[in-house]
Amino acid sequence: MVLTSGDLCSSHWLSLLGFPGAMLSEVLLVSAPGKVILHGEHAVVHGKVALAVALNLRTFLRLQPHSNGKVDLSLPNIGIKWAWDVARLQLLDTSFLEQGDVTTPTPELVEKLKEVAGLPDDCAVTESLAVLAFLYLYLSICRKQRALPSLDIAVWSELPHGAGLGSSAAYSVCLAAALLTVCEEIPNPLKDGDCVNRWTKEDLELINKWAFQGERVIHGNPSGVDNAVSTWGGALRYQQGKISSLKRPPALQILLTNTKVPRNTRTLVAGVRNRLLKFPEIVAPLLTSIDAISLECERVLGEMGEAPAPEQYLVLEELIDMNQHHLNALGVGHASLDQLCQVTRARGLHSKLTGAGGGGCGITLLKPGLEQPEVEATKQALTSCGFDCWETSIGAPGVSIHSATSLDSRVQQALDGL
């Protein structure tokens, strides 16, 4: 199933949430994409280029103002349902949230947020951080209002949690966009008759700034790539802290496969560093070669944006194969990823790991003209290996706001399980 931004506006979406159509004018519906690394993982740690692309598995948020004096947060993917009394939050001393455009969440601030949240001691880390990021963004963005707003917020996602696909960034981006809009810090770009729309460049920059702070609550010291990809969409180039968008990147159809093999990113990064120290004359050229692969891919994507041609897909496939071999040589492969590559290679398709490796996820490029039965057979073969598999696209639109005026069966299929 492939979703485009135009597919994501559906009255069925609202009916799933159990509120009537009469309330539509009061509701904000926001979505943001996940991300995958196309090329450059691990090499980016050593100053090389990485290409990150927006993944059209999306996180969705519904914000509904109400007058019950509560702020309700529902995160069904991780089993969170929490409520706070607005009057109690209003009385809190929030001077620890510095005045200014964007507040930086220090460790001391996060500790104070824990007191405000009132979370139980046995609350799991994932759930705790998700709640703290919400409270941080709600209190920081809404504090300029004469009174904190009473809101009902539900967030749910097609992205698997903890798979390196930017789920926390998509969550932070959705929260920032919705809260900034409901507090009228940025205008609602959705006009009458629109199915979907996006904010201006200036407003997206503000969304991205706040989302990055939400990511800092969750991750401490993130690179900023994940929230940038989720905000802007398309494809981004990242090198030594500098992030820039690729112009008019094509949307590429892929299979995303989660091997469900857990991995430790820190251990894998350390392993590459150790191998570089041990074999500098072998590993340094590998990293340089991966850099060249990223640059060549960037060039080809630029050409495809101007004038797509079949031979460009052949180049992308070669780059995928070479990068996967390099990543194996760096020691970040895994038997499950080898199996993924073997299954798809047997069907004439090309795959590589994405992210840290050592398990985790892989991507498979789907060329135009590939018959749907072939795609389904490949998905079935991967599923029979015990993997989760999605047919989706990369180069997806960034954070968007939706109406609920049209019904699309693909959206219904995507949300039926929630």
Catalytic residues: 168, 226
Tell me the Ramachandran region of residue 244: left when phi exceeds 0, alpha when psi lies from -120 to 50, beta otherwise: beta
Of 357, 358, 375, the C-alpha closest to 366 is 375
Of 416, 399, 409, the C-alpha closest to 61 is 399
Tell me the Ramachandran region of residue 417: left when phi exceeds 0, alpha when psi lies from -120 to 50, beta otherwise: alpha
Which residues on neighbouring strands pair with residue 197, listed in sequence order? 401
Three-state SS annotation for the chain: CCCCHHHHCCHHHHHHHCCCHHHHHHCEEEEEEEEEEEECCCHHHHCCCEEEEEEEEEEEEEEEECCCCEEEEEEHHHCEEEEEEHHHHHHCCCCCCCCCCCCCCCHHHHHHHHHHHCCCCCCCHHHHHHHHHHHHHHHHHHCCCCCCCCEEEEEEECCCCCCCCCHHHHHHHHHHHHHHHHCCCCCCCCCCCCCEECCCHHHHHHHHHHHHHHHHHHHCCCCCHHHHHHHHECEEEEECCEEEECCCCCCEEEEEEECCCCCCHHHHHHHHHHHHHHCHHHHHHHHHHHHHHHHHHHHHHHHHHHCCCHHHHHHHHHHHHHHHHHHHHCCCCCHHHHHHHHHHHCCCCEEEEECCCCCCEEEEECCCCCCHHHHHHHHHHHHCCCCEEEEEEECCECCEEECCCCCCHHHHHHHCCC
